[in-house]
């Protein structure tokens, strides 16, 4: 009888211990599943804020017809670096494709410099726009991912800032700044290509760093201008991104 009671006690103890272990394992699995659901509960939407320093210039051709003029000294203009700013949203379409739309400020410029003895004449023309970049991008990777995108960037012309420097009668440099808005095309479109990487620091934020090329598809000037001017830019696009 004593042996039977001992056997029943051991059986009950082992069965209870097994239940405790099983319940602990199930609890751990449930907690792990809950964590996975929480970490994967992102919508795939990103908000980004960036800057885009770029080497900018243009092609310049004669607008053949009654308004045509020789290019003359404008053939000696040189390129300038300009920095733009942008913000927008990227939405995940599927595992590898993203759609991006944003708004920002974009500029391109040209400069001229002539100096000889007691003579100086130089200027910088900066063409300023509100921009609306639209891209379709291919991405792959997780914490560090490849990003390649193509798209268009409609632009609304703001003004051309012209800074002209000459010498006064005392041989001191004098700079005059004007803003011109007449005889320009107020709606422009750039083709855009971007190649780079996105780096996640956490489930909530990261950074992006990319090379970017832009080519303006229509002229900066209106149809009555003596020239056809199409800007281009090659530079960088980098900033921060927030995940939702």
CB 236 within 8 A of CB 53: yes
Q: Which two tokens stand for residue 44?
A: 């795939």
pLDDT tens string, the chain, 244 residues long: the values are 444 444 444 445 444 544 444 445 555 444 444 444 444 567 889 999 999 999 999 999 999 999 999 999 999 999 999 999 999 999 999 999 999 999 999 999 999 999 988 899 999 999 999 999 999 999 999 999 999 999 999 999 999 999 999 999 888 999 999 999 999 999 999 999 999 999 999 999 999 999 999 999 999 999 999 999 999 999 999 999 999 9
Phi/psi of residue 34, nearest 5 degrees: -60, -40
Q: Give me the count of residues in the chain.
A: 244
Rounded Cα distance between 112 and 128, Å, is 18
How much is the pTM? 0.82
Q: Left if phi > 0, otherwise alpha if psi is -120 to 50, otherwise beta: which for 95?
A: alpha
Rounded Cα distance between 203 and 48, Å, is 15
Q: What is the DSSP letter of 217?
A: -
């Amino acid at each position: 009888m004593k042996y039977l009671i001992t056997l029943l006690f051991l059986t009950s103890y082992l069965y209870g211990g097994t239940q405790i272990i099983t319940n602990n394992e199930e609890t751990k699995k449930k907690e792990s599943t809950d964590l996975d659901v929480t970490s994967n509960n992102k919508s795939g939407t990103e908000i980004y804020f960036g800057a885009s320093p770029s080497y900018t210039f243009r092609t310049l051709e004669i607008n053949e017809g009654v308004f045509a003029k020789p290019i003359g000294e404008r053939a000696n203009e040189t390129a300038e670096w300009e920095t733009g700013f942008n913000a927008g949203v990227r939405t995940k379409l599927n595992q590898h494709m993203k759609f991006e739309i944003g708004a920002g400020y974009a500029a391109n410029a040209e400069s001229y410099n002539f100096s000889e003895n007691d003579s100086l004449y130089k200027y910088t023309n900066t063409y300023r726009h509100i921009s609306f970049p639209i891209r379709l991008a291919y991405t792959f990777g997780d914490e560090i991912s490849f990003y390649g995108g193509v798209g268009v960037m409609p632009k609304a012309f703001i003004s051309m800032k012209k800074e002209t420097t000459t010498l006064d009668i005392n041989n001191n440099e004098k700079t005059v700044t004007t803003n011109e808005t007449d005889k320009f095309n107020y709606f422009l479109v750039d083709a855009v290509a971007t190649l780079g990487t996105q780096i996640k620091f956490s489930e909530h934020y990261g950074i992006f760093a990319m090379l970017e090329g832009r080519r303006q598809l229509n002229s900066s000037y209106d149809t009555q201008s003596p020239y056809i001017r199409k800007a281009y830019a090659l530079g960088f696009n980098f900033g921060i991104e927030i995940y939702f």
